[in-house]
């Protein structure tokens, strides 16, 4: 259903982008899950599972005696997720077509919960966080990857039109009810809810065009310019200027990209 689709859609190109994004971030996710003590036999909630790329890794980690409850509102994404689980014989994956904002979480006393770039898009992230915390057993872990400073996303040397793009993305994000820098709030909210933060780890990369990490945010750049045009937040000329500048600057030897700053949070209930 259209109302259940995300801002960037749920089409094949977006599924590919999310898959590439997960491949870039997979080593950091695996490391975080290990430090959170997610292992064989665990019951885990994948909060906002998308097409299920992280879900499949979690299913492999918890094994056939564990459970991964994948919560996702897009039927299109769930079709991809369920096809992956079936192909791999992962009966431990339990897919739930729900809206994490309005619906109850169909799992309780979970050993762990995982969320990546979900709370930044929610209209009432604190209420959703409380619901997720309540679904985890005492002693269970909660692991988050969320932006803490989206404005670090820049090119070096400076590219003014690219910075305008990032500004417009942030403004549109907030206008739609989200908060790109949601990780600034999460630790305090967790503390308020009686959850102890065990680890805070920032992630920011400075990469050249030849690095695989370069393509992670650039996939978003290419898709989201069209979205800003649809919303009339930028003009066709502005879109052309942004693309032309990026093409020019990215071809220059020595150009670097600074990625948006992500905060990893590992907490224990």
Helix (H, G, I), strand (E, B) or coil at 103: coil
Angle formed by the axes of helices 12-35 and 53-62, to 10°? 30
Q: What is the pLDDT of residue 79?
A: 94
From first to last of its 269 residues, what are the pLDDT tens digits of the chain? 343 445 455 566 778 788 888 999 999 999 999 999 999 999 999 999 999 999 999 999 999 999 999 999 989 999 999 999 999 999 999 999 999 999 999 999 999 999 999 999 999 999 999 999 999 999 999 999 999 999 999 999 999 999 999 999 999 999 989 999 999 999 999 999 999 999 999 999 999 999 989 988 887 888 889 889 988 999 999 999 999 999 999 999 999 999 999 999 999 99
CA dist 139 and 147 (Å) reads 26
Q: What is the pLDDT of residue 71?
A: 97
Q: What is the pLDDT of residue 118?
A: 95
> pTM for this one?
0.93
| Domains observed in the chain | 2-268 (3.40.50.150)
CA dist 122 and 229 (Å) reads 23
CA dist 163 and 49 (Å) reads 30
* CA neighbor of 92 nearest in space, from 47, 132, 46: 46
* CA neighbor of 55 nearest in space, from 84, 97, 18: 84
CA dist 186 and 122 (Å) reads 13
Q: What is the pLDDT of residue 12?
A: 65
Q: What is the pLDDT of residue 11?
A: 66
Residue owning tokens 């996702």: 72
Helix (H, G, I), strand (E, B) or coil at 265: strand
């Amino acid at each position: 259903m259209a109302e259940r689709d995300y801002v960037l859609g749920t089409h094949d190109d977006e599924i590919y982008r999310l898959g590439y994004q997960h491949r870039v971030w997979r080593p950091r996710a695996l490391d975080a899950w290990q430090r959170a003590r997610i292992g064989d036999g665990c019951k885990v909630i994948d909060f906002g599972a998308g097409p299920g790329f992280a879900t499949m890794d979690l299913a492999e980690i918890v094994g056939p005696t564990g459970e991964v409850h994948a919560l996702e509102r897009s039927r299109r994404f769930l079709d991809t997720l369920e096809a992956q689980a079936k192909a791999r014989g992962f009966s431990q994956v339990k897919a739930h077509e729900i809206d994490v904002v309005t619906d109850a979480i169909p799992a309780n006393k979970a050993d762990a919960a995982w969320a990546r770039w979900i709370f930044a898009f929610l209209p009432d992230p604190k209420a959703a966080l409380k619901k997720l915390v309540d679904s985890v057993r005492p002693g269970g872990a909660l692991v988050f990857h969320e932006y803490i400073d989206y404005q670090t996303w820049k090119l070096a040397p400076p590219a003014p039109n690219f910075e305008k793009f990032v500004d417009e993305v942030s403004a549109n994000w907030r206008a739609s009810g989200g908060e790109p820098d949601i990780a600034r709030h999460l630790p305090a909210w967790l503390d308020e809810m009686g959850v102890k933060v065990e680890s805070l780890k920032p992630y920011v990369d400075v990469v050249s065009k030849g690095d695989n990490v370069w393509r992670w945010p650039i996939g978003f750049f290419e898709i989201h310019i069209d979205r800003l045009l649809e919303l009339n937040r930028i003009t066709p000329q502005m879109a052309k200027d942004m693309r032309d500048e990026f093409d020019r600057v990215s071809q220059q030897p020595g150009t670097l990209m600074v990625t948006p700053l992500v905060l990893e949070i590992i907490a224990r209930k």
